[in-house]
Amino acid sequence: MAGLCAAAHARELGATPVVYEKGTRAGGSMLLSSCVIWRFREWDDFRAECPTGDEQLQRSVWERLDDGIAWLESLGAPVVKHETGNPRTVGKRFDPRGLTETLVAAARDVRLGETTSDPTILATGGFQGDTELVGEHIHPGGALRLRANPWSAGDGMRLGLERGAELSSGLDEFYGRNMPDADFTEEQFVPFAQLYGRTARVFNERGEEFFGGEVSWSENDLVQATAQQPGARAWYLLDDEALKDRDVAERVARAPTRTEPDDLPFTAPSGTRVGVRVKPGITHTIGGLRIDEHARVAESLYAAGADVGGISTGGYASGLAAALVFGRIAAESALSSL
């Protein structure tokens, strides 16, 4: 997302950028996403939801997102819905394939299967694809499953550090979904997400109910707490009341790890109808390279997207929004420094 936005914007500013895309297709995780590009409706909500994020960077995303979305529409990117469906947020849902095609057409020179050791803008999508880096910074209680494109493996972070960049806060944080603890495909990233932790009772493998307090609306707090449990696993236990919700019942039915109460590794509380063994699917890292408000990470080097850390720290905010806003800012900064 960020690299394509930067290149498309640089083109309209008169430059001739090249997008080096390590993968076999353009679009990265954006192409696999639900493609809702959003911000909190109220500024205070953004601060409250992501309290340890850099306020100046958050301000840029919050103030420039609507303009960024209008820009995507002006390029011809197809909108599927003109609202997010969440009263606390505003934004639009795009068709991910249509958005990718629009941005590739606007960026023009996108070279698949290529990388460069001398980039101007780092936009490699975070380090979730590198198990060692995830282990070093996030310290999960076991290996996490990847719920993202397979190529975002910290290349931007490594290169930035070599060039003198600093790291942001929140390196131990990530955004993800608890998924059935079984193999799944890219097409199953969205329908397999077990997004009903707040209606379940949640236990770890030892039978300990480990999550205190209320689960947040994004459930990202529960996902991160799950990552810290033995084996980075949890059990969602559901009773009749929880299963009354059709969406919950359907997600449970799709989960290959649903388990009868008698087959759980611990004694289930009475009333449990079914258990589902879950494990976090890591979608993107939240910590990364530190940038200033001009998306600058080091001398003549810029970054955008999930390579950048410290924006949604302490909570969760739209990764696509940050990629769109800072992709465009990075293009402007890189060109004005020439």
Ligand X SMILES: Cc1cc2nc3c(=O)[nH]c(=O)nc-3n(C[C@H](O)[C@H](O)[C@H](O)COP(=O)(O)OP(=O)(O)OC[C@H]3O[C@@H](n4cnc5c(N)ncnc54)[C@H](O)[C@@H]3O)c2cc1C
**From candidates 13, 32, 79, 167, binder to ligand X by CB under 6 A:** 32
Q: How far is the CB of 118 from ligand X (least distance, A)?
A: 12
Task: Compute the distance between CA of residue 17 and CA of residue 166 in angstroms, rounded to an integer.
Answer: 26
Q: How far is the CB of 284 from ligand X (least distance, A)?
A: 5
Task: Compute the distance between CA of residue 104 and CA of residue 127 in angstroms, rounded to an integer.
Answer: 23
Q: Which of residues 134-153 bind ligand X (CB under 6 A)?
A: 147-149, 151-152
Closest CA to 103 of 71, 81, 128: 71
By CB under 6 A, tell whether 22 contacts ligand X: yes
Question: Judged by CB under 6 A, which stretch of 28-36, 66-74, 130-138, 196-204 contacts ligand X?
Answer: 28-36
Q: How far is the CB of 32 from ligand X (least distance, A)?
A: 4
Task: Compute the distance between CA of residue 79 and CA of residue 82 in angstroms, rounded to an integer.
Answer: 7
By CB under 6 A, tell whether 324 contacts ligand X: no
By CB under 6 A, tell whether 168 contacts ligand X: no
DSSP code per residue over 18-69: -EEE-SSSSSTTGGGS--EEEEESSHHHHHHHSTTS-HHHHHHHHHHHHHHH
Task: Compute the distance between CA of residue 86 and CA of residue 19 in angstroms, rounded to an integer.
Answer: 34
Q: How far is the CB of 175 from ligand X (least distance, A)?
A: 7
Would strands 145-146 and 121-122 be described as parallel, antiparallel, or unpaired? unpaired
**From candidates 7, 9, 33, 329, binder to ligand X by CB under 6 A:** 33
By CB under 6 A, tell whether 165 contacts ligand X: no
- Is residue 237 within 8 A of residue 263, CB to CB? The reply is no
Q: Which of residues 183-212 bind ligand X (CB under 6 A)?
A: 189-190
Q: How far is the CB of 174 from ligand X (least distance, A)?
A: 11
Binding flags for ligand X, 40-69, as an x/- string (CB under 6 A): ------------------------------
Binding flags for ligand X, 290-319, as an x/- string (CB under 6 A): ---------------xx-----------xx
Task: Compute the distance between CA of residue 312 and CA of residue 334 in angstroms, rounded to an integer.
Answer: 24
Q: How far is the CB of 94 from ligand X (least distance, A)?
A: 9
Task: Compute the distance between CA of residue 212 and CA of residue 70 in angstroms, rounded to an integer.
Answer: 41
By CB under 6 A, tell whether 283 contacts ligand X: yes
CA distances from 281 to 91, 108, 176, 268, 276 (A): 25, 33, 5, 25, 15
Task: Compute the distance between CA of residue 94 and CA of residue 165 in angstroms, rounded to an integer.
Answer: 33
**In the complex with ligand X, which residue's Cβ is closer, 119 or 275?**
119
Residues that bind ligand X (CB under 6 A): 1-3, 20-23, 28-30, 32-37, 115, 123-125, 147-149, 151-152, 155, 189-190, 283-284, 305-306, 318-321, 323
